[in-house]
Structure 1
């Protein structure tokens, strides 16, 4: 069913922003480039971006009343890795940034970003990469100690790699392998949470284009350390409600699909605010958008981080359904746009 608000949102704009974000490397702690992309787009919309000492971005949109401030968070940081050591044969041992299973990155192309601005390509492999050489390759455990990166340069030793400027602590980003299909399917790494960020931009674009003022002041928080657990651990003190916009998990006994907006009632940090969650469900029904209410036992969000950081807030969690999270992810354009619809309905609601 079609939401009355959906035709008002600029679907093409949301997809353009999503593509741009997905094409910009941003593992947790290495988000300067993606925040430059964010700043440019925010300023083109006529808003301003404040960068906190931590590197998070905050956009303030004044509201109609002096009611409590509403926070909306989404994270631009993604999974990735760092150089842990350089082996004598010129292979790189890496340490994960964020929580993922090693088998999800085996065979992946990657970029190694040096501290002097150099970028080198590589491929993630196990230390026993060939069935023609190792008899136990199929049963070989994929864990950090058994994984390495082959650099696409003429290197045969640790010294050769160091001459390229590569060193311990350099960031490694995964090839997103982004595909936007005519059917509306979007498959890519890092839809968690760049799909959520794109939905937030869809909200901002609508407010600016329509010249609308939200019912109360909004502070949009774009965090840069969510994948390592503390993205929005500190938020502006005037925020009393926070909606985290993040991906909705799919599988097992969960109800969400890749075309739904997921409304999370509880994750590993505990239940989300009852009244906020109930209001989001009611608005999803009112707007006639596809949604699902689920519980995620292996999940945390920026709202979780804010609560654990001591913020006295009400909090909720929504986002587009994403299949195979922290792996080769897939969602649908409808889920991303409908997430923006639900946000729009919430911020414009007068009650």
Structure 2
């Protein structure tokens, strides 16, 4: 029988270096990494892990699995975010010397209109702009406001001599070439950060800042794996990066600060469910309790049109407890805005979770009998309140 993982004395919140967090985010935003074009950002993050002093493994395609050693390898934990972003791909070469596009990931062409971008051909990168078909107000007048919105109604104008299809062939532009959208980041003095691709380079920066803080802390009770995936935006995510000993996985990604949602640009937003269903009851409850115990501002939310690395792992058949903690994003998958307060809060939660005691010792084994299995409340709220409230005669005793 495997030994029970050693318990840990929960420390207070570790101090997060927000300047370091910002630097890591700025560095990653400057590296184009739409899904399918992630080699450069993977190399960059591996270099950061080297500087922290953490060992890591790479999958064939470039997903990163870094290990923070703990007291036991069994019943390990994982923290995951993704390095890939939204983008586009060349769908067709047009007779006017421009190219039509299809999106990489799910995002509206409304946010593509006017975007500066780079198209990566085999002969190198070309700069350009994504424009609606009717882009000139002096030519089309009010039609520029009434034309339809959609990917079939935009095209990319390449900043090179390109007036027809032959010119595109001469440039080496081909169907399938990847297009990276400029992030256009702004870091404001009041803590707000506005940029494209904060989903989920901000999550990766949170993990790196937490790792740096954990480097000098006592070892966690079990191994903690920090996972960086490369295809979350197209649904693959953490489908093939988990190890059998990983019992619980917490995804760090964006929340949706929008009407009808409870997400916030401040503090941690703990997701209770997304379109794939509820997250693990016990892991989610533990994360909320850690926020309460360590005075980390938090709120809960339920997401509808949303999935994360956790969903891909579960759908791939991983028997792992999953949860999702987020930083609230305004205009997600558009020109996004977040606040450093949420990023710092998330990094603090990652550290206290990594160092927290193991509560479900049975999870060290992939399968077992009923001994040590978890339980959930069954009484109704009124009965529980009655049971928890002392009777006057009990108080008199």
TM-score normalised over the length of structure 2: 0.85
Shift in Å, 1:10: 1.2
- 2:155 is matched with 148
Confirm or deny: 8 A CA contact 2:74 2:246 kept in the other structure: no
- 1:268 is matched with 275
Is 1:325 the counterpart of 2:332? The answer is yes
- 2:213 is matched with 206
Is 1:215 the counterpart of 2:217? The answer is no
- 2:175 is matched with 168
Shift in Å, 1:162: 1.9
- 1:35 is matched with 42
Shift in Å, 1:128: 1.2
Is 1:187 the counterpart of 2:171? The answer is no
Specify the structure having the higher radius of gyration (Cα).
2
Mark the CA change 1:348 to 1:231 in structure 2 (over 3 Å): closer, same or farther. Answer: same
| Cα-to-partner distance string for 1:10-54 (whole Å, 9 max, x where unaligned) | 111111001101111000111001001101111111112311023
- Note the residue ranges of structure 2 that are not aligned, 5 or more in a row: 1-10, 359-397
**3-state SS in 2 of match to 1:41:** helix
- Measured in 2, the distance between the counterparts of 1:66 and 1:205 equals 21
Is 1:178 the counterpart of 2:198? The answer is no
- 1:129 is matched with 135
TM-score normalised over the length of structure 1: 0.96
Written as runs of structure 1 = structure 2, the 5 A alignment for 1:1-351 is 5=13, 8-116=15-123, 118-134=124-140, 135-208=142-215, 210-234=216-240, 235-351=242-358
Confirm or deny: 8 A CA contact 2:270 2:325 kept in the other structure: yes
Confirm or deny: 8 A CA contact 1:84 1:169 kept in the other structure: yes
- Measured in 2, the distance between the counterparts of 1:181 and 1:4 equals 29
**3-state SS in 1 of match to 2:317:** coil
- Measured in 1, the distance between the counterparts of 2:97 and 2:56 equals 42
Shift in Å, 1:279: 0.8
Aligned-residue CA RMSD (Å): 1.4
- 2:7 is matched with none
| Cα-to-partner distance string for 1:197-234 (whole Å, 9 max, x where unaligned) | 011001110122x1531221011110000000111112
